[in-house]
Chain A
Amino acid sequence: MDESADPDLDLLFLQARVTPDWTPARAERVWAAVMERLQGRRRPRRRLPSLLTVLRLNRAAR
């Protein structure tokens, strides 16, 4: 296949330069969200007692 099968299209997109409105403020906001998600993941989880521990505690309470 020809590498540039539709030169009209390639030229259009080259001229139109499809680019995001990626401002420093936006980058900062997205970076803060990335960090929040990563730190959220690493927050220590509250450990639930094992079934055996629950049974032992129940027995002791009786």
Chain B
Amino acid sequence: MVSEEELGDLFKRYASYVATIGIRLLGRDDELDDLVQEVFIEAYRGYHQLRSPGAVKAWLARITVRRAVRRLRRRRLRSFFSLEALPADARLADDGVTPEQKAEVASTYRMIERLPVRQRVVWVLKHVEGETLDSIAEICRVSKATVQRRLRAAEHALEVEKERHGVPHGRVS
């Protein structure tokens, strides 16, 4: 088990990285603090499973994805029973971008909210996080073929959504 001091060092170094992946996966800020807490508590308990200290960043990314998936599934369940409404316009983009870009990002997140969680995760890791297919396969612990299949399904579903809302091909809003 890692000491509290070592955990503190990990937190100082990687908390902002974990928070960045977290917000990109969750698509909103209100669950982020809890997610970051969960990731570092799991890291504390599972540190002995980490084979190479050099792989700590990728390991934290895997924990973040796993924890975010749980939260997204719970959220889908709550929204299925109408216990939770989506925030109208979550603050997702930097202040330096244009209002149009902010609106596009928010609109894309509203569409991906309807995707199955596994498809959503690979889509976000690819398009928002900018990860390669190999890296997504490693983070999600699935084969590259599975990543490709989920990505294709997500992209198809988003195309259908865009057409349903009358958005021209090649644009996201």
Residues of A within 8 A of B (CB): 1, 3, 5-6, 8-10, 12-22, 26-27, 29-31, 33-35, 37-38
Contact = CB atoms under 8 A, between A and B. Distances in A.
Given A15-B101, A18-B92, A6 B155 contact: yes
A1 B152 contact: yes
Contacts of B11: 27, 31, 34
Contact of B37 (A15, A22, A33): A33
27 contacts: A1-B133, A3-B132, A3-B133, A5-B151, A6-B155, A8-B171, A9-B172, A10-B130, A12-B104, A13-B127, A13-B128, A13-B130, A14-B130, A15-B97, A16-B101, A17-B94, A17-B97, A18-B128, A20-B16, A26-B33, A30-B36, A30-B37, A31-B11, A33-B37, A34-B7, A34-B40, A37-B37
B108 A34 contact: no
Contacts of B7: 34
Nearest to A7: B170
A62 to B, nearest CB: 46
A6 B123 CA distance: 11
Interface string B1-36: 000100110010001100110111000010011001
Given A22-B19, A31-B8, A10 B105 contact: no
B102 A18 contact: no
Given A20-B23, A38-B41, A9 B108 contact: yes
Interface of B: 4, 7-8, 11, 15-16, 19-20, 22-24, 29, 32-33, 36-37, 40-41, 44, 91-94, 96-97, 101-102, 104-105, 108, 127-128, 130, 132-133, 148, 151-152, 155, 170-172
Contacts of B29: 20-21
A57 B63 CA distance: 48
Top 10 closest pairs, chain A to chain B, by CB: A16-B93, A20-B23, A17-B94, A20-B19, A16-B105, A13-B128, A22-B19, A1-B148, A9-B127, A22-B16
A15 B108 CA distance: 14
Contact of A13 (B33, B41, B105, B132): B105
